[in-house]
């Protein structure tokens, strides 16, 4: 009989009792198993994943977002966090975590993650029982390639954390490496039959894998005669691309190598232009086509020299690469390019395919966008300084800058995509005052800022500090700034032209003369922006800003530094430096 407390109605109990009363023991056992199979089965709890990122240009944040989306598709509970918002002890709270971080400059952490990094090196949270993996972004043209990612990887292990999967070091062409790392990570976290299938390969961003052939609408030299500078204003069409951008974003330009550089490589190697080679990713093409459009054939780095040396022994190169001669290698490589390596240290029997195998793909170049989409619908503008110099008796030139100046006339097409930079944005409120420091081509995003605010009818005050060499020749967008001052889109303009007087005058010097007013603006909530050279200008402006705060707040430098650091944390101090 079915017990009275069973979850059946009286009619169901009678029917069920009649059905099972005639079953043999074997039939009852089979039915028991069958009914058990119909019941929901316990499954393994989904894995948890915290993706933390530290970014300079936005790439790591983008990859973190893609990692989160791919993990969720695999059934993993995933969240994303910015290292700038964490402390090292937070890592102990994360069951599984992935660190996606870039190396900037000469082995430095991303600026926004600098505070976390300094604490992380000095603090020792217990991470036994936690699991981690690192995806490191870098640039093999720098000696300390992916240095910050390597430091994180080693440090996390020393604190007791266990690796989910091995670290991946990604060059500027990071798509394949990142995808491989993501696949390993997701396979390691997969649980249950629904998520144990093949790794989810993230959908490739249209912008990076399918460049838009943008028509050049205008290409104008901004400098006057008698200057040592060569700065151009380039206008490109986005019509029909589906691409959109915000002020503060960058445009990635995929250049072609100059014909004279290609010819020098062909002449030195003696390889046929028509010989077929295979480049990274398995794509096959002629050697000449690979040199012109697919490979970086200029930038010389330690990584390139190591690969080259592996093809044939060379005592001089081995000596230069040895640890104790690091300074000598840096001195030797300065101003040299790949053609110099071929000429000064030729390898007998080198094949075209071997040569191609040591080169990296042509990296896109990022340029701060110099236009507002509201002011110039369907267009994107750039401010580009042509790089030309002499190196070891040879005339050298920047690949992308001279491609745009020399090889991209009006009507030609340039391969581009939009690169989002969420770390360089106008304030949310149009009533907020802004201070912008942008000498030389660093003024580009501020042209966009002022245009955007003008289009929006912003009421917040705006103050631009601009500098260059000579007032008569190098005052970029001078007439436009005058128009913006008249319309009110720009409230104040201070300039510094370093070569117009015996003593050099730079933007930081002009800032000091307006120190009291700068501090007043900051106290009433102004956002402070810097764009341009990272090595000298940005550092000098940073120190000047700290000095202004110390002087007018009447506090020690360490407290002034903390004040400026808080501006960064509050997104009121943003930099786009390179």
Ordered alpha helix ranges (H), 56-111: 59-73
pLDDT of residue 23: 60
330-353, pLDDT tens digit by residue?
Answer: 889 889 999 999 999 998 889 999
Whether residue 80 is predicted with pLDDT greater than 60 in this model: the reply is yes
If you average pLDDT over residues 132-158, what whole number do you get? 92
If pLDDT is split at 50, 70 and 90, which confidence band does 574 have? very high
pLDDT of residue 202: 38
Can you tell me whether residue 417 is helix, strand or coil?
strand
Choose among 49, 138, 59: nearest CA to 98: 49
How long a stretch of residues is the chain? 578
Question: Which tokens sit at 305?
Answer: 């020299």
Q: Residue 122: in which H helix or E strand, if any?
A: helix 114-122
Considering the chain, what percentage of its residues have pLDDT values greater than 90? 68
268-302, pLDDT tens digit by residue?
Answer: 999 999 999 999 888 999 999 999 999 999 999 99
Max Cα–Cα distance, the chain, nearest Å: 112
Q: What's the predicted TM-score (pTM) here?
A: 0.75
Can you tell me whether residue 156 is helix, strand or coil?
helix
Q: Which string of b and e fits 297-318 if b means at least 16 CB within 10 Å? A: bbbbbbbbbebbbebeebeebe
Question: Which tokens sit at 559?
Answer: 């407290």
Whether residue 540 is predicted with pLDDT greater than 70 in this model: the reply is yes
Whether residue 563 is predicted with pLDDT greater than 50 in this model: the reply is yes
Choose among 128, 50, 125: nearest CA to 88: 125
Burial of 210 (0-12, 13-18, 19+ CB in 10 A): exposed
pLDDT of residue 74: 84
Are 321 and 330 in contact, with CB atoms under 8 Å apart? no
Secondary structure letter of residue 104 according to DSSP:
B
Whether residue 244 is predicted with pLDDT greater than 80 in this model: the reply is yes
Choose among 38, 420, 542, 497: nearest CA to 228: 497
pLDDT of residue 322: 81
pLDDT of residue 205: 42
Considering the chain, what percentage of its residues have pLDDT values greater than 70? 88
One-letter-per-residue 3-state SS of 151-212: HHHHHHHHCCCEECCCCEEECCCCHHHHHHHHHHHHHHHCCHHHHCCCCCCCCCCHHHHCCE
| Identity of the highest mean pLDDT range in 42-46, 226-230, 283-287 | 283-287
CA 569 to CA 565: how far, in whole Å? 6
Whether residue 377 is predicted with pLDDT greater than 60 in this model: the reply is yes
425 to 327, 417, 533, 568: CA distances (angstroms): 39, 19, 19, 13
Residue with tokens 């993706």, as numbered in its chain: 51
Whether residue 396 is predicted with pLDDT greater than 80 in this model: the reply is yes
Which domains are present in the chain? 48-200 (3.40.50.360), 208-255+363-419 (2.40.30.10), 259-357 (1.20.990.10), 434-577 (3.40.50.80)
Secondary structure letter of residue 373 according to DSSP:
T
Are 75 and 110 in contact, with CB atoms under 8 Å apart? no
Q: Residue 33: in which H helix or E strand, if any?
A: helix 25-38
Q: In what order do the strands lie in the sheet with 250-254?
A: 365-368, 250-254, 413-419, 212-221, 231-237, 379-385
Are 274 and 286 in contact, with CB atoms under 8 Å apart? yes
pLDDT of residue 105: 77
pLDDT of residue 450: 98
Question: Which tokens sit at 53?
Answer: 């990122």
Q: Which of 5-9, 260-264, 543-547, 563-567 has the lowest mean pLDDT?
A: 5-9
Within 8 A by CB and 6+ apart from 250, the residues are: 57, 366, 367, 368, 369, 418, 419, 421
If pLDDT is split at 50, 70 and 90, which confidence band does 9 have? low
Ordered alpha helix ranges (H), 199-348: 206-209, 259-269, 287-289, 302-311, 315-321, 326-333, 338-344
Q: Which of 171-175, 367-371, 405-409, 568-572 has the lowest mean pLDDT?
A: 171-175
CA 99 to CA 284: how far, in whole Å? 34
Residue with tokens 């936690």, as numbered in its chain: 130
119 to 79, 163, 395, 564, 568: CA distances (angstroms): 23, 22, 45, 18, 17
What average pLDDT does the chain have? 88
If you average pLDDT over residues 533-542, what whole number do you get? 94
174 to 139, 147, 280, 492, 519: CA distances (angstroms): 10, 16, 12, 42, 42
Using left for φ > 0, alpha for ψ between -120 and 50, and beta otherwise, residue 335 falls in left
If you average pLDDT over residues 517-534, what whole number do you get? 97
Whether residue 408 is predicted with pLDDT greater than 70 in this model: the reply is yes
- The angle formed by the CA atoms of residues 259, 264 and 270, to the nearest 5 degrees, is 120
Are 418 and 243 in contact, with CB atoms under 8 Å apart? yes
If you average pLDDT over residues 247-275, what whole number do you get? 96
96-140, pLDDT tens digit by residue?
Answer: 999 999 998 778 998 888 889 999 989 999 999 999 999 999 988
CA 54 to CA 99: how far, in whole Å? 8
């Amino acid at each position: 009989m079915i017990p009275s407390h069973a979850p059946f109605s009286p009619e169901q109990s009678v029917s069920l009792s009649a059905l099972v009363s005639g079953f043999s023991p074997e039939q009852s056992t089979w039915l028991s198993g069958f009914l058990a199979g119909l019941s929901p089965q316990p499954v393994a709890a989904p894995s948890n994943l915290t993706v933390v990122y530290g970014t300079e240009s936005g790439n790591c944040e983008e990859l973190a977002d893609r990692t989160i989306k791919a993990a969720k598709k695999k059934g993993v509970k995933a969240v994303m966090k910015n290292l700038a918002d964490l402390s090292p002890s937070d890592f102990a709270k994360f069951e599984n975590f992935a660190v996606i971080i870039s190396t900037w400059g000469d082995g430095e952490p991303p600026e926004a993650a600098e505070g976390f990094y300094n604490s992380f090196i000095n603090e020792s949270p217990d991470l036994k029982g936690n699991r981690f993996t690192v995806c490191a972004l870098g640039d093999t043209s720098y000696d300390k390639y992916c240095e910050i990612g390597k430091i994180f990887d080693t440090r996390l292990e020393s604190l007791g954390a266990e690796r989910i999967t091995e670290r991946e070091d990604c060059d500027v062409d990071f798509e394949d490496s990142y995808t491989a790392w993501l696949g390993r990570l997701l396979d390691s976290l997969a649980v249950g039959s629904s998520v144990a299938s093949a790794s989810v390969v993230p959908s490739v961003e249209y912008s990076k894998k399918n460049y838009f052939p943008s028509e050049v609408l205008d290409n104008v030299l901004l400098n006057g005669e008698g200057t040592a500078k060569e700065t151009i204003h380039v206008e490109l069409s986005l019509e029909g691309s589906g691409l959109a951008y915000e002020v503060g974003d960058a445009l990635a330009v995929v250049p072609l190598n100059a014909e004279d550089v290609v010819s020098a490589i062909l002449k030195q190697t003696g390889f046929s232009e028509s010989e077929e080679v295979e480049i990274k990713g398995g794509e096959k093409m002629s050697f000449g086509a690979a040199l012109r459009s697919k490979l970086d054939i200029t930038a010389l780095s330690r990584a390139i020299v190591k690969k080259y040396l592996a093809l044939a022994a060379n005592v001089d190169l081995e000596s230069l690469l040895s640890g104790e001669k690091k300074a000598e290698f840096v001195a030797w490589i300065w101003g040299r390019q790949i053609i110099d390596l071929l000429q000064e240290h030729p390898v007998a029997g080198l094949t075209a395919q071997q040569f191609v195998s040591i080169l990296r793909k042509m990296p896109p170049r990022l340029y701060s966008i110099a236009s507002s989409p509201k002011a110039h619908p369907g267009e994107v503008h750039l401010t580009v300084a042509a790089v030309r110099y002499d190196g070891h008796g040879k005339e050298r030139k920047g690949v992308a800058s001279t491609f745009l100046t020399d090889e991209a006339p009006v009507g030609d097409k340039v391969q581009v995509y939009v690169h989002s930079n969420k770390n360089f944005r106008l304030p949310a409120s149009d009533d907020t005052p802004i201070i912008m420091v942008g000498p030389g081509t660093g003024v580009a995003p501020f042209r966009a800022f002022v245009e955007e605010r003008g289009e929006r009818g912003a009421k917040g005050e705006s103050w631009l500090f601009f500098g260059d060499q000579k007032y008569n020749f190098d005052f970029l967008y001078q007439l436009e700034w005058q128009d913006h001052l008249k319309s009110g889109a720009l409230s104040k303009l201070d300039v510094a032209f370093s070569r117009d007087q015996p003593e050099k005058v730079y933007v930081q010097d002009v800032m000091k003369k307006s120190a009291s007013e700068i501090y007043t603006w900051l106290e009433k909530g102004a956002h402070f922006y810097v764009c341009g050279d990272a090595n000298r200008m940005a550092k000098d402006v940073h120190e000047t800003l700290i000095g202004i705060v110390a002087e007018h707040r009447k506090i020690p430098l360490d407290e002034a530094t903390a004040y400026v650091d808080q501006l960064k944390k509050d997104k009121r101090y943003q930099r786009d430096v390179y």
